Structure 1
Amino acid sequence: MKFLLNLYLDAAALPGDGFDHEGFLSAAARTGELISGHVFADPSISAVVRVRDGVVTVTDGPYPQGPDHVAGQYLVDCENRERALELAASIMSERVGGVEVRPLMDSAGMEM
C-alpha cells in the first residue's frame, strides 16, 4: 500500500527544524519502503490558484492560512497502515506540527 506522509511545521520554526530526516531515511531505505521525498521551499513564496464562477484568481502565500504549513512529503510503499504510522512517528520530534498519513488511491478509487 502506498501512503503520502505530509510533514507539517509551525511557520515560526526555522527551516529544517523539527524533523529527524536521517533516522527516517535510514529506516525506510533499509526496508525498501521509501519511494521518494521532497522538502518544500518557504510557503511565503508559494501561490494559490482558485477558480470561482469561471474567474481565475492567484494569491500569494500558503493555503490554507494558518500557523502550520506543509514543509515536505515522503511517498512510501508499506505493507499496511500501521507500518506507515510507525514510519511517520520516526520523523517526529516534539517541535514539529505533525505528520499526516494519507493512503493513495488509483483512478478507480482503489488503494494502491
Structure 2
Amino acid sequence: MRYAIMLHYPERSGDELGDALAEGQSAFQAYARDLDQAGVLVSGEVWQPSSATTTLTAADGTLRVQDGPFADTHDQLGGQFVVDVPDLDAALAWAEKAPSVWWGPVEVRPSATYVQSGTWVPTA
C-alpha cells in the first residue's frame, strides 16, 4: 500500500536556521537513506519555499491564478516522501522517524491511485 508522508513545518530562511540548516539536511538525508535501504521509498521531494507557489482556483467558475500558497498558515507543506509499505502501522512507524516531526505536523495519507508509465493504477 502506498502512503504519502507529508511534512509540515514553519518556513525559515537559511540565515534564520544558521547551523541548524546543515543538521536538518543531514537528518533528512539519513531518513531518506533509511527508507531507501529498507526498500520502501518510492519517491521523496523537498519543495521550494511556499512563496514560490502559484495556486489556481476555479470553484466559482472563474479561473484565478494567485501567487503564493492558498492557505495562510504558520506551517507550510514543505515536502513529502511516498512509501510502499504493508499497512498504516508501517507507514506511521516511518512517519514518526521523519526529522520534521519535532518541528511541525507529519501527515500520513494513503494513496487511492498512482500513475505509472501513463497508466492510472488503483492501490487497493
- The two structures have a TM-score, normalised by structure 2, of 0.76
Query: How many positions carry a matched residue from both structures?
Result: 110
Distance 1:94 1:84 in 2: 14
> Alpha-carbon deviations, 1:39-79, whole Å to 9, x = none?
10010121110113321111111121110111001110011
* Structure 2 residue aligned with 1:4: 4
Contact 1:37/1:75 (8 A) holds in 2:
yes
Structure with a larger share of its residues in helix: 2
TM-score of the two chains, using structure 1 as the length reference: 0.83
In structure 2, do the counterparts of structure 1 residues 73 and 31 end up closer, same or farther at CA, with 3 Å as the change threshold?
Answer: same
1:43 matched to 2:57? The reply is no
Segments of 5+ residues of structure 2 without an aligned counterpart are 15-19, 115-121
Task: Check whether the contact 1:23–1:91 (CA below 8 A) recurs between aligned residues.
Answer: no
Task: Please tell me whether the aligned partners of residues 5 and 74 of structure 1 are also in contact (alpha carbons under 8 angstroms).
Answer: yes
Partner of 2:17: none
1:56-105 CA-to-partner distances (Å, cap 9, x unmatched) read 11111112111011100111001111111111111135642121000001
Quick one: percent identity of the two aligned structures?
A: 28
Contact 1:92 1:99 in 2 (8 A): no
Cα RMSD of the aligned pairs, angstroms, is 2.5
Question: Would the alpha carbon gap of residues 101 and 94 (structure 1) be closer, same or farther in structure 2, given more than 3 Å must change?
Answer: closer
| Structure 1 residues 48-67: aligned runs within 5 Å | 48-67=55-74
